[in-house]
Amino acid sequence: MKRINYESAVATGRGDDGTTGLLFGGDRVYKDDLRTEAFGTIDEAVAALGIARAELGHVGSAHARTPAFLGLPQLLLRIQRELFVVGAELATSSENRDKGRDGESRVSAVMVDAMDATLREMESVIELPREFVVPGETRASAALELARTILRRAERRSVTLAQHDPAIAAGHLLPYLNRLADLLWILARVAEQVRPAKQPGPGPTDRPATGHTPPRRTEHVNGYQLNPSRLGVRPAPALVQQLLIGAFGWMGAGLALTAGVAYLVTTSPTLLDGIAGLWLPLIIGQLVLAVVIQAAINKLSATASLALFFIYAATMGLTIGLIVSMYTGESVAAAFISSAAMFGGAAVFGVTTKRDLSGLGGIASMAVIGLVVAMVVNMLLKSSPLGWLISLVGVALFTVLTAYDVQKITSGQYAAITKSADRASILAALRLYLDFVNLFLFLLRLFGGSRR
């Protein structure tokens, strides 16, 4: 066959004889050479990771080192770029190895250490399944599994090459590939829980086997639905403990601050008179501040978020001080003890129950809006029976919301939303704080038959 003589930026024609060139001016080798097989298989793994990254989509400014779900596209892009370094080392002959540079054309110890750190971090934020996993739960996870198996093949090719090239055996390339393959298995478990919010129309194999499958309430983060109750995504026990301790610790600190400010208010007639004249602007300001904290928490540092939370707790002390001054000490004590008992029971239920409370919690959240409207109406009607009914409904709703918010902590939803364990604890503390305070106030109205 006559050879076609042409040359372009991509197609040079020099490989028509079945050979390819190596980096740094090395000899040309056949395309089925051990070295070519090794870096060619790395190229396959990079392409497979590209499929997974395209399926997951771009998450914007999220960083790789976050709780599970978020930052996967950025992490995969980092891995793809690092695999170019792996491929470059494999495409460099032994005699030219010294011409390469660590981290650019040669795998470095820093790259291995970073991979170790990423591996440990991902292990700490998800609960791994204990049985064999059949790939295919999602397209992204299947692509990651495919990349993992290709990478294992690249590792085998590299091990074979290392038997002929002592530089490969003595370097950091083999440990890097081994750890990366382990990481991809874990990332596939994470990707099993991330589904695009808008899926293409169902194909023949996507239809339910029988009947109609009712939609399940899920939360959306950066365009993806999170299914935190599924096996493999609940945070590891150590992270759950960290989140719970942080959330209840900050909530307790906030309540202590509120109680301290409330005590100062009740013991100062001047403060009472001043707050009584400003109660409406104060309540509006508190509402705005609570909304701002929750809406802007991803844009704030953990320190700033915590500062706003304590400011909110202090202003709540002013309002609660005014309210409790209208009731006897016995009524306040009874309401506090009852709210603490109900809150504690609901919190324990939220931690221990295996039932998904998202549906019930969603209904309770919507019902709170109706409850607020009813309270405004009753301010005009001044109906005692309606007031009692509102208080009873309020106690029920915030008991349910307490259990729901605690379950959101243990399932990792706050961590996924805030992208930070510290901010997750603060956001959860605010929600739990609101649950407890509202529970206390509604119980106070029930127990407060005799006012001062």
How high is the pLDDT of residue 205? 38
Q: Are 222 and 254 in a shared domain?
A: no
Residue 150 resides in a domain: yes
Of 268, 302, 324, 271, whose CA–CA distance to 440 is shortest? 324
Residue 11 resides in a domain: no
How high is the pLDDT of residue 11? 63
E strand spans, 314-432: none
Q: Are 188 and 286 in a shared domain?
A: no
Domain end marker among 226, 261, 278? 226
CB 117 within 8 A of CB 134: no
Residue segments in the chain with a per-residue pLDDT below the cut of 70:
1-13, 26, 58-70, 125, 127, 130-131, 194-238, 449-452
How high is the pLDDT of residue 10? 56
How many structural domains are present in the chain?
Answer: 2
Domain end marker among 193, 226, 259? 226
Residue 206 resides in a domain: no
Residue 387 resides in a domain: yes
E strand spans, 25-93: 29-30
C-alpha distance from residue 100 to each of 29, 94, 109, 164 (Å): 19, 11, 14, 19
pLDDT tens for 202-224 read 443 333 333 333 333 333 333 33
DSSP 6: -
How high is the pLDDT of residue 358? 87
CATH number of the domain at 128, please. Answer: 1.20.1200.10
How high is the pLDDT of residue 6? 39
CA angle centred on 286, ends 285 and 291, rounded to 5° = 100
Q: Is the pTM of this model over 0.75?
A: no
Residue 208 resides in a domain: no
Domain end marker among 178, 193, 226? 226
Residue 6 resides in a domain: no
How high is the pLDDT of residue 197? 45
Residue 402 resides in a domain: yes
Q: Are 175 and 243 in a shared domain?
A: no
Helix (H) or strand (E) run with residue 194 in it = strand 194-196
Residue 10 resides in a domain: no
How high is the pLDDT of residue 26? 64
Q: Are 259 and 355 in a shared domain?
A: yes
Q: Are 287 and 141 in a shared domain?
A: no
**SS3 helix, strand, coil % of the chain, rounded to 5?**
70, 5, 30
Q: Are 241 and 222 in a shared domain?
A: no
Q: Are 222 and 268 in a shared domain?
A: no
The two counts, helices (H) then strands (E), for the chain are 15, 5
pLDDT tens for 232-283 read 345 556 678 888 999 999 999 999 999 999 999 999 999 999 998 888 899 9
Q: Are 248 and 388 in a shared domain?
A: yes
CB 29 within 8 A of CB 19: yes
Q: Are 65 and 163 in a shared domain?
A: yes
Q: Are 278 and 365 in a shared domain?
A: yes
Q: Are 185 and 274 in a shared domain?
A: no
Tell me whether residue 160 is exposed, middle or buried, using C-beta atoms within 10 angstroms of its C-beta: 0 to 12, 13 to 18, 19 or more.
Answer: middle
Q: Are 190 and 250 in a shared domain?
A: no
Domain housing 260:
237-447
